[in-house]
Amino acid sequence: MTTVLTKSFPEDKPLPAKAAVRKKRVLIIGGGFAGVAAARTLKRADVEITLIDRRNHHIFQPLLYQVATAVLAPSEIASPIRQLETRQKNLRVILADVTGIDLGTRTVEALCPGSGTRKIEYDFLVVATGMRPSYFGHDEFAANAPGLKNLNDAELIRTKLLSAFERAESTDDEKARARLMTFVLVGAGPTGVELAASIAHLNSVTLRKNFRDIDPAESKIVLLDGGVRILPTFAESLSRKVAKRLGKLGVQVLTGVKVEKVDEEGVVAAGARIPSATVLWTAGVAASPIVKMLGTTTDRAGRACVGPFMDIPEAPDVFVAGDAAAMTQDGHPVPGVAQAAIQQGRFVGRLIAARIRGRRDGNPFRYRSKGNMAVVGKNFAILEAGRLRTAGFATWLVWAMLHVMALPQLQNRFRVQTQWLWSYLSGQRSSRLISEPPRR
């Protein structure tokens, strides 16, 4: 009998799987110009991006005043932030309110509607929360003088403007009627100037012959500013041209005047009472309270004082971009305008992508101005780009073209372009809606 010996081999053991390498997490707070620009710049980076905003939409701020004056509807200058997810696979959008930031544990606390508070971890944090109206220590003014920073503000202002004429039409009290047909704007920067000119056109053209007992063209528009001239960020020659243009539109400009009181009856400025039922605040801005959660140095407006790479000294992987950041260049502050916010957002996105790949930081951020513009009613705008200073109809055409092309979505561009053409030819505005208060 033959015995066959067999050698037993141990069962093959599976090779240990490589531990999955966790992707770096980038957390962006704010879906404005800077936040969206940072997210888009990281589209091809090997990261996990979370974008948090308390609103579900991105607003094209330069045209917000046109929503306030019934030229455009809110949807025509806004686009859903969540739409970014369909185009960017490494991006996640969360609708939430940020309630806390812990730099030590690298976590952000967010209050999500319907699901409570959650903590979100990050490796890189970008704070791009923008600005809010500042009343220079007189927050009590806000109750009677709304600012213009979001769609709710714009719709509130539109309601106040249109309601004032409806109330003026229904009263026989001449004193009350005069107060209702007086509009006061505090702050003669670009927003105040553009808003005042648009209100003047609304009153004299759009609402003409819409009432039996009143003539909206006879309303009074007063633009107040504490400075020596309007549009202080523009050249003085352009400022004078705008002041002259506003005068032709029927806007009374008062400079060197400080507002001392705002109440239901109007404003008190330089000791004189201006009766008005509609006071609008376009004077100052302050940073979002979220910036204070970083515990870093801030300027008088509450903006974070960032370094040359848009980061804060307390945490080199925490960046502040857009209007929430205070930065100087060549001895002058970087302006809080859309083009600066977009450039900063892209810079931060590129910097994060480079650090993830292990590359050294390149050159620090440097703002490159493409020029500043402001529109003053129909057929008139101003432009300042370096030594170039222009004003008039041709500049207005350039302004219109640039703003249409800068809108976030193709449908926004088509709608705005169509509405502008209709308003230009007919003088009418399609969004003359008075919002109803919520029912109990």
Q: pLDDT tens across 32-49, in order?
A: 999 999 999 999 999 999
Q: What is the DSSP letter of 202?
A: I
At 182-214, the pLDDT tens digits run 999 999 999 999 999 999 999 999 998 899 999
The mean pLDDT of 232-238, rounded to a whole number, is 95
The whole-number pLDDT of residue 14 equals: 52
24-130+288-356 and 134-285 in the same fold: yes
Q: What is the mean pLDDT of residues 162-185?
A: 97
Q: CB of 181 within 8 A of CB of 214? A: yes
Active site residues: 194
Could you give the CA distance from residue 355 to residue 45 in angstroms, rounded to a whole number? 11
- Ramachandran bin of 280, using left for φ above 0, alpha for ψ from -120 to 50, beta for the remaining angles: beta
Domain 24-130+288-356 class?
A: alpha beta
Cα(308)–Cα(305) distance, integer angstroms: 10
pLDDT at position 440 is 67
Q: Are 25 and 68 contacting, i.e. CB atoms less than 8 angstroms apart?
A: no
In terms of Cα–Cα distance, which of 310, 303, 314, 312 is closest to 366? 310
Q: Which amino acid is at 134?
A: S
Q: Band of the pLDDT at 22, cuts 50, 70, 90? A: confident
By percentage, how much of the chain surpasses pLDDT 70? 95
Domain ranges for the chain: 24-130+288-356, 134-285
Across the strands, what pairs with 47?
A: 24
* CATH number of the 134-285 domain: 3.50.50.100
Kindly tell me if the per-residue pLDDT of 12 is higher than 60. no
**CA-to-CA distance for 345 and 132, rounded, in angstroms?**
19
Per-residue confidence band for 437, with pLDDT thresholds at 50, 70 and 90: confident
Taking CB atoms within 8 Å and a gap of at least 24, the contacts of 9-13 are: none
How wide is the angle at C-alpha 180 spanned by C-alphas 174 and 182, nearest 5°?
A: 105
Give 360's pLDDT tier (boundaries 50, 70, 90): confident
Q: Report the alpha-carbon distance of residue 320 to residue 279 in Å, rounded.
A: 33
pLDDT tens by residue, 238-247: 999 999 999 9
Radius of gyration in angstroms for the set of CA atoms belonging to the chain, rounded to a whole number: 27
Distance CA 51, CA 344 (A): 16
